[in-house]
Structure 1
Amino acid sequence: MPSNVEIKAVVRDPGLLTERAKQLSRSEGTLIRQQDTFFRVEKGRLKLRHLQDGTGQLIFYERPDMDGPKLSNYSLSLTNDPEGLTKVLSDALGVKGVVKKERYLYLVGQTRVHVDTVEGLGQFMELEVVMKEGQSVEEGEAIARELMQLLGVKKEDLIVGAYIDLLMADKQE
């Protein structure tokens, strides 16, 4: 199963973070609009990501709910019929919730730096250090920590869980 080391954090100064991400990636980034439908499952998280080109990705992943760098194991399947698959999975499993976001993607070495605007939540950043075969979790965590420092991400800005968890917590309050 593929894996990555990730962190998520609240963004206090989107302009500064974006400028640093542009400098590190030597690019203007790629704008991606996504809608993730999360389904009710007993373990891990299962989401169907609707992409702007009309395709989708069914993604199952497991990772601990803690702040800081954490290992995430995932599996992914592509679909050309995300609406039909959403209907089938909704009927079979039930929908937990939907996350809509606008994301700028910057590639820095083996890391995907995301600067996200999440509908109903605000501005966040996410690092995904895509693990190479044979690479240790500790190496991935060290890369994530170094990028956190270069991007100006503070430990107190780190968040636990996924965007869907934050949205669900907001609905319960």
Structure 2
Amino acid sequence: MYADITIKARCANPTDAESTLLQHEATYVGLDVQTDTFYETDTGKLKHRQGNIENVLIHYKREYSGGLQKTEVLLYLKNPSPTTVAQVCDGKQVMAQVKKFRKIFFIENVKFHIDHLEGLGHFVEIEAIDLEGSLGTEVLRHQLNYYKGLLQIADEYVVNDSYVNL
């Protein structure tokens, strides 16, 4: 079963974070210019992400605990067709849009985002992903804590809100 635990923090020096990741053999995927559109839903968040790298339609719920975010994914469609987006989203009110510049990196199952949002500044996200449910949440938590330390993320910089709420 899919599991995903994430931590997000303000990032005073994105160049240092990027350098640290590359020194630890992170794979750089690229710079994604993303627009996330959020739609009304009875539970969780319904988001259509449009980017030059990532394009998804996702419905998810997040639970926050001690700076970590556990995500339960209810719907995940990669590269959805316009027809599919219309079937899921038409008739729903647009709640908000978030535009960001996102550099994407991977080290094994851990995904890193170095984000810039105009008016909000720079952030780093660490997302430990268990696609098949073979690692378990304890391993994911250990990975997050390890990379949090590696990137020198102090607790006071951890953000417990999504960008749309900021």
TM above 0.5 = yes
More helix by share: 1
TM-score norm. by structure 2 comes to 0.87
Query: What's the counterpart of residue 151 of structure 2?
Result: 151
Unmatched runs of 5 consecutive residues or more in structure 1? 167-173
What SS class does the counterpart of residue 165 from structure 2 fall into? Answer: helix
How much has 1:85 moved relative to structure 2?
2.7
Deviations 1:83-139 (A, max 9, x none): x836972x4220110011111111112100110012332110111101142322122
Query: What's the counterpart of residue 35 of structure 2?
Result: 35
How much has 1:26 moved relative to structure 2?
4.1
Does structure 1 retain, via aligned residues, the 8 Å contact 2:7–2:67?
A: yes
**Aligned partner of 1:49: which letter?**
R
What SS class does the counterpart of residue 134 from structure 1 fall into? Answer: coil
Structure 1 residues 160 and 153: alpha-carbon distance in aligned structure 2, compared to 1, 3 A threshold: same
Deviations 1:131-168 (A, max 9, x none): 142322122111101000011111111001211011xx
Q: Give the superposed CA RMSD.
A: 2.3
Deviations 1:10-66 (A, max 9, x none): 00111211111221234455111111100111211110011227x831111111145
Query: What's the counterpart of residue 169 of structure 1?
Result: none
**Aligned partner of 2:76: which letter?**
L
Does structure 2 retain, via aligned residues, the 8 Å contact 1:56–1:80?
A: no
TM-score norm. by structure 1 comes to 0.83
More strand by share: 2
Deviates most, 107-116 or 134-143: 134-143
Query: Equivalent pairs: percent with the same residue?
Result: 26
Does structure 1 retain, via aligned residues, the 8 Å contact 2:28–2:106?
A: no
Task: Within 5 Å, give how 1:16-165 maps onto structure 2.
Answer: 16-52=16-52, 56-74=55-73, 75-78=75-78, 79-81=80-82, 85=85, 89=89, 91-131=90-130, 132-165=132-165
Unmatched runs of 5 consecutive residues or more in structure 2? none
C-alpha distance in 2, partners of 1:59/1:76?
5
Query: What's the counterpart of residue 170 of structure 1?
Result: none
